[in-house]
Amino acid sequence: MPFGNQIFKKPDFKKVSDVVWEVPTSFKQGMKVPARIYATKKIVDQMDLQVYDQITNVANLPGIQKFAFCMADGHSGYGFPIGGVAAFDPEENGVISPGGIGFDINCGMRLVLTNLTYNDVKPHLKTLVDKLFDKVPAGVGSSGFVKLTKDQFRKVVTEGTEWCVDNGYAWKEDLERTELNGKADWADVSKVSSKAVERGVNQIGTLGSGNHYLEIQVVKEENIFDKELAKKWGLFPNQVVIMFHCGSRGFGHQIGTDYLQLFLSVMEKKYGIKILDPELACAPFNSPEGQDYFKAMACGVNMSFANRQVILHRIREVFSDVFKQDAEKLGLKMVFDVSHNRASVERHKVDGETKELIVHRKGATGSYPAGREEIPKLYRDDGSPVIIGGSMETGSYLLVGGPNAAETFMSTAHGSGRTMSRTRAKGMFRGEQLQRDMLKQGIYVKSVSFSGLAEEAGSAYKNIDDVIEATHLAGISKKVVRFTPIGNVKG
């Protein structure tokens, strides 16, 4: 990470393929493995140079295996770049790092079907968006309608979606359509601070701010790329679906903050680990501190699953109210819920040897080909559904785990990836005008603030089609359906 006015330099890449670019270990002293960027040359040329500094810092961390990866949506972040992936071997002093997971722990995407067509929804679109805006609180510090005591909240973050089933906020079938079946079962709430509980207790069922959103989308026939799989997963031409993006809010952020500070205090003094960037503070995965963080992180995972589940409950209520039919009759079934900010213990082959690794995905999505044990049984014969959101002006994608995903420890991109800072975007765009322009494009958007809307202008992001094409060509995830936005609730 830079100190002062450090100037970043672009590496001399080794071209592995049209969509894989390697930074050799000679680029920076201490790199234990090369770094690899999965992107087209066009995207590589447009990336901010800090990405290369950050991903090569990651390549210095103890126990890292094969490569430090950055996906096509990569941009600079905290510690790891957004779009960063790295796997560490605990048997080789491999580490766990909050900066490689993200402070919005288990931030992710959920995709929901309906049996409604665009023609069914069009007359009610404004009403739907307005009601969703009222029912699903958004923005900084927003509180949800689920009122919990701190002890009840501790139960939620231990049980995840199972708590939602038991308390009437989920259908039982939602579990099998969620990663980990909606529960990180190694969670230990005793490893979470009282301050984290205080920050999270009122935030179940809320979107938050920034790039979090709830979107009504339509499936256009020409955007169905895998007709057989799309049909099997319940998608059809002119169908309306709902996609939303959010995470563990202040709860996850506080967990990350607490353990970052702890790791900074023990990392070098106790474990002799020296790093290039304090934002990559870490501890050996098998150390007491590393295990405590992993168990606390799991509580963040469960809070996030419960948060998205309660939002789905509210979506079902709104659609049922507007269309005067039960949610079941409207076909409001989940396709999948997938994270892009988590560390997972997984088995992978490294140079022919099967190892148990701790895989960090920071703004990167698990992308498992058919047969992998991480995939819920419902989808195991197909490969894991991969949900990648674009900007509110463009579109989003459903993909499936690709045949070459083992190259990246079963990982792919998570979104468009920013091309400009939020400050710069607010200086270039005006939220009021953006809202009017989007309405002309057929997208009705409602936001907590116009400045927040300006930050999320489509032009502040990479072209989602370029990002997806890179992952598709690399074979780490394969296109199934592209969705077009028609209504949006923004934080």
Nearest partner of 186 among 207, 157, 219, judged by Cα: 157
Angle at 491 between CA 300 and CA 121, to 5 degrees: 110
- 414 in active site: yes
Using DSSP, state whether 81 is helix, strand or coil. Answer: coil
- Tell me what percent of the chain is helix, strand and coil, each rounded to the nearest 5: 40, 25, 35
The secondary structure of 125-187 as a DSSP string is: HHHHHHHHHHHS--STT---S----HHHHHHHHHHTHHHHHHTTSS-GGGGGGBGGGG--TT-
Which contiguous run of DSSP H or E holds residue 213? strand 213-224
Neighbours of 4 (CB within 10 A): 4
Tokens of 470: 């890179």
| 8 Å CB contact between 459 and 434 | no
CB within 8 Å of 417: residues ≥ 6 apart: 72, 73, 74, 75, 82, 83, 461, 462, 467
| Token pair 């674009």 in the structure block, residue | 390
Neighbours of 89 (CB within 10 A): 18
CA dihedral 205, 208, 212, 217 (to 10 degrees): 40
Tokens of 190: 């005793």
Paired residues of 389 in beta bridges: 415
Residue 82 carries which DSSP code? Answer: E
Q: Catalytic residue, from 75, 245, 414, 472: name it.
A: 414
Paired residues of 481 in beta bridges: 224, 398
| 8 Å CB contact between 109 and 388 | yes
CB within 8 Å of 324: residues ≥ 6 apart: none
| 8 Å CB contact between 203 and 251 | yes
Tokens of 30: 């201490």
Nearest partner of 189 among 309, 343, 292, 306, judged by Cα: 292
In whole angstroms, give the CA distance from residue 286 to residue 308. 31
Q: Compute CA distances 257 → 86, 180, 480, whole Å.
A: 21, 25, 37
Q: Indicate which residues carry an active-site annotation.
A: 414
